[in-house]
Amino acid sequence: MSASTPDPRPGTRHAGPEETVLYALQFLTGEQAAGLTHHFEHCAECLRELALVEGDLAACAFSVELHSPPALARQRLRTQVARENRLSAQPALAAFGRNGSILAPPEDEQPNRGRALTLLGWLGWILAVGLAVAGAMFYQQDAAQSAQLGAQSSELARLNADAAHAHQLLDALADPDAERITLTAKPPAKAQPLGRVTYNRVNGSLIFLADDLDPLVAGKVYELWLIPSDGRNPIPAAVFHPDNHGNASVILPGLPPGVPARDFAVTVEDEGGAQTPTLPYVLAGS
C-alpha cells in the first residue's frame, strides 16, 4: 500500500498486512476486529488487500470444509502471533496480499526461513483440520452403513428362522409315521370340547389343536400331558389358554424324543402349570 495514499477518514490509519491476515483468519476479536471492520467499509484500498488475502486463503484450502478451531487453540495462536510481532518487524504474514499471492511469490523475494516455517505451520494446521473433518464424515457414513447392514442381517436371520420353523411344522403334519389321536371330553360337556394330537415319538414332535374349550377363571390355565406307555410319570407338554371361541393350539413344544405314548390328556392347573396332573382330565384320548 502506498504511503502517499490518503486515509479514508482523518485520524485513522490503514490496516497493516499482519492485521489484514489475522482479520481474514477471524483471529481478531473485540474492539480491534470492530475497528478494522469499520475501516474496510470506508477504505477501498484496504478492502482490495483483504480480498487478495482471502483469495489466497481460499485457494490453499479450496477442497477443505473449514471449521472454527477450539477456543483454546485460537487463544494459543493469538499468543504466538503477538510474540512473533514483538520479535520481528516484518512478520511472514506480510507476504499475503500486498506482495502477491502466497501460491506464486515474486522471484526476487528471498523469504526468511523462520517466517516461511511459520506460514507453512499455519497452512498445515488448516489442512489438518480439513482432513480431520473429512475423516469424521467418512467414519459417520461407514458407521451408518454398518448399522444398516446389521439390521438387514438380523431381519434375514429372523426370516430364515421363520422359514425353518414352517418347514418343521409341515414335516410334522405330513409325517407318515406320526400317530394321530382324538381327545374327547369325559364326561361329555355341553359344548363338547374336542382335541386332536399329531405325535411322532422318534423325534418328539407334537402338534395339538383343540375346539370348544370352556373359558377359564382368572389364575387358571389348561395343561397338555403326554402319558408314556412304559410306566413313567406323565410328562407336561405345555400350558395354554383358549381364545374367545374356545380354540387353542400347542405347536412343537419340545418334548424329549423316543418316548412311547399311551395317552394324551388335558387338565386345568394354576397359572404357570404343574409337574403332576390335577384330576379329573378335561380331555383324554389314546
Average pLDDT (245-262) is 94
- 179-285 placed in CATH 2.60.40: yes
> Which residues on neighbouring strands pair with residue 236, listed in sequence order?
225
Q: Is residue 103 over pLDDT 50?
A: no
**pLDDT band of 22, cuts 50, 70, 90:** confident
Beta carbons of 15 and 40 less than 8 angstroms apart: yes
> Using 50, 70 and 90 to split pLDDT, how confident is the model at 92?
very low
- Beginning with the edge strand found earlier in the chain, give each strand of the sheet holding 220-228 in spatial order: 235-240, 220-228, 261-270, 283-285, 179-185, 194-200, 205-211, 248-251
- The per-residue pLDDT of the chain, averaged, comes to 77
Query: Tell me, what's the pLDDT at 5?
Result: 42
Of 123-127, 131-135, 154-158, 202-206, minimum mean pLDDT range: 123-127
Report pLDDT digits (tens) over 33-78.
Answer: 888 888 888 898 888 888 888 777 776 665 555 555 566 666 766 7
pLDDT of residue 90: 46
Give whichever of 25-29, 131-135, 261-265 has the largest mean pLDDT. 261-265
pLDDT, residue 109, reads 47
Task: Identify the residue with better confidence: 189 or 248.
Answer: 248
Phi-psi category of residue 259: left, alpha or beta, with phi > 0 → left and psi -120 to 50 → alpha: beta
pLDDT level of residue 3 (50, 70, 90 thresholds): very low
Examine the pLDDT at 85 and tell me if it is beyond 70. Answer: no
**What is the Cα–Cα distance from 40 to 20, expressed in whole angstroms?**
10
Confidence of residue 233 (pLDDT cuts 50, 70, 90): very high
CA distances from 79 to 27, 46, 83, 223, 258 (A): 11, 25, 6, 82, 85
Q: What is residue 137's predicted lDDT score, i.e. its pLDDT? A: 75
Distance set, CA 97 to CA 48, 92, 119 (Å)? 9, 12, 14
Residues in the chain: 286
- Distance, CA of 278 to CA of 286 (rounded, Å): 19
Domain boundaries, the chain: 1-103+110-169, 179-285
Q: How many beta carbons lie within 10 A of that of residue 164, not counting itself?
A: 10
Overall average pLDDT of the 172-176 stretch: 82
Q: Helix (H, G, I), strand (E, B), or coil: what is residue 252?
A: coil
User: Quick one: cell of 263?
Assistant: 395317552
For residues 208 and 17, which has the higher predicted lDDT (pLDDT)?
Answer: 208
Residue with the larger pLDDT of the pair 32 and 115: 32
